[in-house]
């Protein structure tokens, strides 16, 4: 499902406060971006216990219960975790990963707020969540009957919301500082093959592991943990970031002229990370259109070209990486690239004689 309108974590929380109290809601989003934690936080905020059911692990009888004979009449007895006497928040996680038989078992629970003769206590809330088919997750088509019984909302990752949460939840300082520097690496699209990938959840896992090691952290451990939690490219750069912190290399100091690019061979991974951060800052701070350029932008462009020249002396390949199109099709603003081509033509000449995409 391709979303038309998306919300951040903060916006979703407000949405649930206003909509979930009167209608069942379904939250769409890729894995690891915080759908479950937001629902649990919402339930606490309204004073309700949260009961979570994992759709991918349910059978129909887990919802409707099993039949019993009472006074010569058969009655279905729903499970105790559902059949509660006090209001609660029922969270149906991975709802679109369950079989169609299980989906049908949810119809009356979601639409009529009952299972057989059992009715949800007044004040109870029903929320579902699931991944999308493009997320390489286990999903099944949601029936039109179930789709039409829910209010749908699409969650996206917001680095601002996540950083605000991280600062209040003891996320390791290395992780916080890294995401502050590389906000674009908080989340990445799940890969087509089996390997770790970066999400808010995986950064949280990395933080927990870093805390557990405490004073025993060294470069080898950080490398091991990063590659166990993050996308390989992000893990490489996180390792280099740790080296940068220890050696006190700062992009801001390089940008201001107080420090030079690291030029030693053993610092090549650090140089690559700093160059990637340099590119990210140019993408963030330079306007896409030349008509929007101000004096501040012109000064940044001038500094950027000077740093590209210095970088190309140390590593032409890394300097070319800064100005080339990345794997997501993003490029630096065309007006800036024209100036780069004019002033630094060697940056657009590959070793094999071909031109890079500028």
Superfamily of domain 6-156: P-loop containing nucleotide triphosphate hydrolases (3.40.50.300)
List the chain domain ranges.
6-156, 160-348
Q: Residue 66 carries which DSSP code?
A: E
Answering whether pTM is above 0.85, one says: no
Cα 335 from chain centroid? 31
pLDDT digits (tens), the chain, 358 positions: 666 799 999 999 999 999 999 999 999 999 999 999 999 999 999 999 999 998 877 777 777 777 777 777 777 677 888 889 999 999 999 888 888 888 888 888 888 888 877 899 999 999 999 988 777 767 788 888 889 999 999 999 999 999 999 999 999 999 998 999 899 999 998 888 889 999 999 999 999 999 999 888 898 999 999 999 999 999 999 998 888 877 667 788 899 998 899 898 888 888 988 898 899 899 999 999 999 999 999 999 999 999 999 999 999 999 999 999 887 788 999 999 999 999 888 886 544 433 444 3
State the distance between the two ends of the chain, measured CA to CA, in whole angstroms.
33
> Is-contact 192 231, C-beta < 8 A?
no
Handedness of CA 108, 61, 93, 132 (dihedral sign): negative
56 contact partners, CB below 8 Å, separation of at least 6: 94, 97, 98, 138
Q: Which two tokens stand for residue 142?
A: 């949601």
According to DSSP, the residues that pair with 16 across neighbouring strands are: none
């Amino acid at each position: 499902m391709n979303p038309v309108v998306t919300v951040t974590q903060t916006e979703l929380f407000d949405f649930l406060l206003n909509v979930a109290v009167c209608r069942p809601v379904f939250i769409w989003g890729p894995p690891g971006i915080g759908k479950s934690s937001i629902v649990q936080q919402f339930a606490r905020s309204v004073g309700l216990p949260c009961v979570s059911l994992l759709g991918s692990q349910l059978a129909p009888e887990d919802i409707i219960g099993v039949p019993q004979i009472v006074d010569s009449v058969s009655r279905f007895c729903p499970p105790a975790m559902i059949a509660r006497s006090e209001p609660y928040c029922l969270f149906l996680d991975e709802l679109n990963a369950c079989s169609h038989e299980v989906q049908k078992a949810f119809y009356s629970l979601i639409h009529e707020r009952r299972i057989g003769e059992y009715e949800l206590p007044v004040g109870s809330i029903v929320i579902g969540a699931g991944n999308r088919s493009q997320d390489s997750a286990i999903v099944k088509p949601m029936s039109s009957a179930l789709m039409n019984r829910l209010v749908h909302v699409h969650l996206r990752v917001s680095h601002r919301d996540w950083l605000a949460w991280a600062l209040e939840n003891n996320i390791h300082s290395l992780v916080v500082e890294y995401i502050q520097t590389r906000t674009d690496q908080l989340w990445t699209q799940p890969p087509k093959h089996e390997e770790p990938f970066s999400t808010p959840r995986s950064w949280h896992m990395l933080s927990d592991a870093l805390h557990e090691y405490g004073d025993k952290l060294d470069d080898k451990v950080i490398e091991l943990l990063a590659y166990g939690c993050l996308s390989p490219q992000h893990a490489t750069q996180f390792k280099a970031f740790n080296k940068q912190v220890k050696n006190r290399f700062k992009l801001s100091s390089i940008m201001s002229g107080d420090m030079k690019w690291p030029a030693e061979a053993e610092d090549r991974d650090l140089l690559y990370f700093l160059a990637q951060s340099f590119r990210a800052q140019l993408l963030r701070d330079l306007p896409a259109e030349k008509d929007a350029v101000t004096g501040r932008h012109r000064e940044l462009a001038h500094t950027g070209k000077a740093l590209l020249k210095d970088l190309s002396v140390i590593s032409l390949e890394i300097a070319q990486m800064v100005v080339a199109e990345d794997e997501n099709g993003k490029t630096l603003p065309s007006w800036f690239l024209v100036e780069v081509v004019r002033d630094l033509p060697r940056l657009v000449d590959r070793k094999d004689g071909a031109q890079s995409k500028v």
